[in-house]
Homo-oligomer: A and B are copies of this chain.
Amino acid sequence: LDTVKIERFRRALKASGFQAAVAVSPENTWYLSEAMIDTQKELLERLAVVVWAPDREPIYIVCTNEEVQARKESWIQEVRGYVEYQQSPMQLLADALREVGAASGRVALEKWFLSVAYFEELSRLLPDAEFVDARPLFNQVRAIKTADEIRRLESACGVTDRSIRKAFEAARPGMTEKQVGALLTTELIAGGAQALALQVLAAGVDSESTHQRAREYVLNRGDLMRTDCGGIFDGGYMTDMARTISVGAASQRQRDLYRFMWDEHERLIDMVRPGTACEDIYRSHVESFQRRGWNMLRPHIGHSLGIGPHEFPLVRPGERTTLQPGMCISIEPSHFQPGVGKYHLEDLVLVTEDGPRVLSRTADWSQLFVSGV
Contacts and interface: CB of A to CB of B under 8 A. Distances in A.
A102 to B, nearest CB: 18
Contacts of A221: none
A117 B314 CA distance: 20
A210 interface: yes
A113 to B, nearest CB: 6
A293 B37 CA distance: 30
A254 interface: no
Interface in A293-328: 297-300, 308-310, 314, 316-318
Interface in A52-72: 63-66, 68-69, 72
Copies of this chain, whole number: 2
A84 B66 CA distance: 35
A79 interface: no
A204 to B, nearest CB: 14
Contacts of A119: 116, 119
A77 interface: no
Contacts of A65: 210-211, 298-299
Nearest to A82: B299
B38 A316 contact: no
Contacts of A298: 65
Contacts of A186: 182, 185-186, 189
A190 B182 contact: yes
A42 B114 contact: no
Given A114-B115, A115-B113, A209 B310 contact: no
Contacts of A181: 189
8 contacts: A42-B309, A69-B210, A72-B209, A83-B299, A116-B116, A181-B189, A182-B189, A194-B213
Interface of A: 37-39, 42-45, 63-66, 68-69, 72, 83-86, 109, 111-117, 119-120, 131, 133, 181-182, 185-186, 189-190, 194-199, 208-213, 297-300, 308-310, 314, 316-318
Given A43-B310, A112-B115, A117-B133, 13 more contacts: A37-B211, A42-B197, A42-B309, A65-B299, A68-B209, A68-B210, A69-B212, A72-B209, A111-B115, A115-B116, A119-B119, A182-B189, A195-B196
